[in-house]
């Protein structure tokens, strides 16, 4: 009997010691396990789990991607979760991600490339094993390589699986798009952009599921150029929604908006003192949009002066109304009305 008690005590002691050892080493074990999981997905990583508790975790200095050019760096990641007692689904109550740098690219065919972190965005078939309720990202820097050069943005975002995502970003376009007379990228004031992203289920629309992206474009005096077109001191407010369906069809709707610019140059046209009100726009297109796009738009406004290079013509103060529509058949209709104070030219 004494031997049995001794064996029991020793067994409990060994189990307790092993439990304590595992608990003390939990951070290192979690770091190793998470690194192995990411490696199995083909994602190089550098990660430190600093404090793992029964329902919370603190991760510091997370880096995903190559050591020389990582796609994602996050200084602090705080996670809080619980396990549903009935379904055994992991409920991730909150994720706070601070001081983030994301490096992505737009390919020559217009697709978004997230590099090494792309596998994390792929959905897996079967029942969901986790639910993400709330995420908040703060102090995020995005670097985006494009065919025109590198663009950047500072943003904050918040949301979850149920309500979607909202946020705001201050965007600096590639240096090649910044009008040279307005200075270089270091003196460029970023353009404010608001956004809201939500996944729409199949039963809510004709073809689904779809991704809904709401946006508000809020320039405040920036000057931009693209190829042969340039616009100086652009300001205003354009808001709307982009709906991207699974069949690659995209629909764009905008609300009534305003645009102002000191000067616009492009395609043998130079306009100064532009004040415009955009009518609600509707546009739908598939791939390629040049042959499948259809919709309509309209704009009214005034110009201080309009110059045409061919024919050589100059118009004084002008009030205009322009509307255009393209039918699904490809037929295009354009209507223009204007009121000009004086005309000169040869």
84-111 pLDDT, tens digit per residue, is: 778 777 777 888 888 989 888 888 776 7
Give the model's pLDDT for residue 12: 44
Give the model's pLDDT for residue 23: 37
Give the model's pLDDT for residue 272: 93
331 Cβ neighbours under 8 A, 6+ residues apart:
none
Give the model's pLDDT for residue 67: 82
Give the model's pLDDT for residue 170: 92
Low-confidence ranges of the chain (pLDDT < 70): 1-41, 52, 54, 110, 120-130, 180-186, 201-209, 246-248, 286-292, 343, 345-346
DSSP label of 20: H
Q: Is the alpha carbon torsion for 141, 145, 151, 156 positive or negative?
A: negative
Residue 249, classed as helix, strand or coil, is coil
pTM of the complete model: 0.73
Give the model's pLDDT for residue 9: 40
Q: Is the alpha carbon torsion for 175, 181, 184, 186 positive or negative?
A: negative
Q: Which residues pair with 68 in a beta bridge?
A: none
Q: Show contacts of 123-132: CB within 8 Å, 24+ apart.
A: 128/89, 129/89, 129/90, 130/89, 130/90, 130/91, 130/92, 131/89, 131/90, 131/91, 131/92, 131/161, 132/92, 132/95, 132/160, 132/161
Distance, C-alpha 30 to centroid of its chain: 31
Give the model's pLDDT for residue 125: 58
Instruction: Return the biggest CA–CA distance within the chain.
Output: 119
Nearest to 60 by CA among 71, 45, 70, 75: 75
Which helix (DSSP H) or strand (DSSP E) does residue 21 occupy?
helix 2-24
- Is the Cβ–Cβ distance between 222 and 189 less than 8 Å? yes
3-state helix, strand, coil in the chain (%, to 5): 20, 60, 25
Cα gap 17→10, rounded to integer Å: 10
């Amino acid at each position: 009997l004494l031997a049995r008690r001794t064996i029991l005590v020793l067994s409990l002691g060994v189990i307790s010691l092993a439990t304590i050892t595992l608990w003390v080493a939990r951070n290192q074990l979690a770091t190793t396990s998470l690194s192995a999981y990411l490696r199995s997905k083909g994602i190089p990583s550098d990660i430190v789990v600093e404090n793992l508790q029964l329902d919370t975790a603190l991760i510091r200095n997370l880096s995903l991607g190559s050591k020389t050019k990582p796609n994602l760096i996050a200084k602090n990641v705080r996670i809080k979760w619980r396990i549903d007692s009935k379904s055994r689904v992991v409920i991730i109550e909150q994720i706070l991600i601070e001081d983030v740098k994301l490096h992505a690219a737009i390919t020559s065919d217009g697709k978004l490339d997230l590099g090494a972190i792309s596998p994390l965005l792929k959905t897996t078939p079967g029942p969901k094993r986790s639910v993400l309720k709330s995420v908040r990202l703060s102090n995020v820097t995005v670097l985006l390589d494009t065919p025109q050069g590198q663009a950047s943005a500072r943003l904050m975002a918040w949301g979850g699986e149920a309500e979607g995502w909202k946020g705001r970003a201050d965007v600096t376009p590639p240096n090649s798009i910044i009008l040279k007379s307005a200075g270089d990228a270091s003196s460029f004031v970023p353009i404010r952009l608001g956004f809201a992203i939500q996944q729409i289920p199949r039963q809510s629309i004709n073809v689904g599921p779809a991704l809904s992206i709401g946006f508000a474009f809020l320039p405040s005096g920036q000057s931009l150029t693209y190829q042969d077109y340039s616009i100086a001191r652009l300001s205003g407010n354009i808001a709307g929604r982009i709906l991207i369906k699974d069949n690659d069809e995209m629909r764009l709707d905008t609300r009534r908006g305003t645009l102002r610019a000191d000067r616009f140059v492009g395609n043998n046209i130079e306009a100064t003192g532009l004040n415009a009100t955009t009518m609600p726009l509707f546009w739908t297109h598939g791939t390629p949009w040049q042959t499948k796009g259809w919709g309509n738009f309209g704009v009214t406004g005034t110009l201080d002066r309009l110059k045409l290079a061919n024919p050589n013509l100059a118009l004084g103060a002008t009030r205009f109304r322009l509307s255009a529509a393209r039918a699904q058949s490809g037929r295009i209709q354009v209507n223009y009305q204007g009121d000009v104070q004086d005309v000169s030219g040869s």
